Amino acid sequence: MDKIIGGWNLPEVAAAQHALVIRELAEHATDPVGPYAAFRWAMDTIGLEYASLLDVGCGSGHYGVLCERFYPYVHYHGTDISDPMTVYARQLAPLSTFSVCEFHDNRFGDYDIVLASQVMEMTSDPPEALDFMLSRIRKWAILNRIRLTKVESYQITEGTYCGNMGHNWLWNLDDIIQKIERRAKIVAISAELPGDQIAIVARRE
């Protein structure tokens, strides 16, 4: 993956996300909302009883926690470019596995499900990153926290953890649908996220 600005590799940024995730997991232990609810919706839509899941850009491991709580039959593996993030992830989800990995170095095809939640959007070329990932998945992809715009897709710069500034990407809905359908079939779209966000489940034929 291209270098991400916003301090993602900094220990204090990892600590800030870790603290936020602990609060969110405690508040929504039995009834997740927002991106957590969308992840569970996507997993239930796929409906595999046994599966391997790759979480690309896992941060401090919150989706690993959800797999351990609600999908214990899923073999979860999270990767992130930040070593401090994976250190916290191992603490949060001790039954899961984590490793440090650049986006384009992920072995997407080794897993039944690939989860990408606000990670492609932080690269210098999100459409290319999306196409690269979808061209290599084995079967299923969960695209979570897709932020929408009513104009053409474009990059924004915004505040991240600890006051750092980072890149993000807003997708035009028709644009991302068209790009996904070059490589896979869209199975379902959920709009149950705050702030004009959606989640998409896609399957490679």
CATH classification at residue 25: 3.40.50.150
Q: Read off the pLDDT of each residue in 180-188 and give the average, rounded to a whole number.
A: 97
Strand, coil or helix: 124: coil
**Given this model, what pLDDT does residue 139 score?**
97
Are the C-beta atoms of 42 and 68 separated by less than 8 Å? no
The answer to whether position 130 is within a domain reads yes
Q: In Å, how far are 27, 45, 62, 124, 191 from 57, measured between CA atoms?
A: 23, 22, 11, 15, 22
For residue 108, tell me if it sits in a domain. yes
Q: Which domain holds residue 115?
A: 11-165+172-203
Quote the number of domains for the chain: 1
In tens, the pLDDT along 23-70 reads: 888 877 666 667 788 999 999 999 998 999 999 999 999 999 999 989
pTM, entire model? 0.93
- Residue 71 makes CB contacts below 8 A (sequence gap 6+) with 43
Each residue's pLDDT tens digit, 125-179: 999 999 999 999 999 999 999 999 999 999 998 887 777 788 899 999 999 999 9
CA distance 99 to 103: 12
pLDDT at 3: 46
In 10 A of CB 44, how many CB atoms? 11
In the prediction, which pLDDT does 31 show? 65
Q: Is residue 109 part of a domain?
A: yes
The answer to the question of residue 102 being in a domain is: yes
Q: State yes or no: pLDDT of 124 exceeds 80.
A: yes
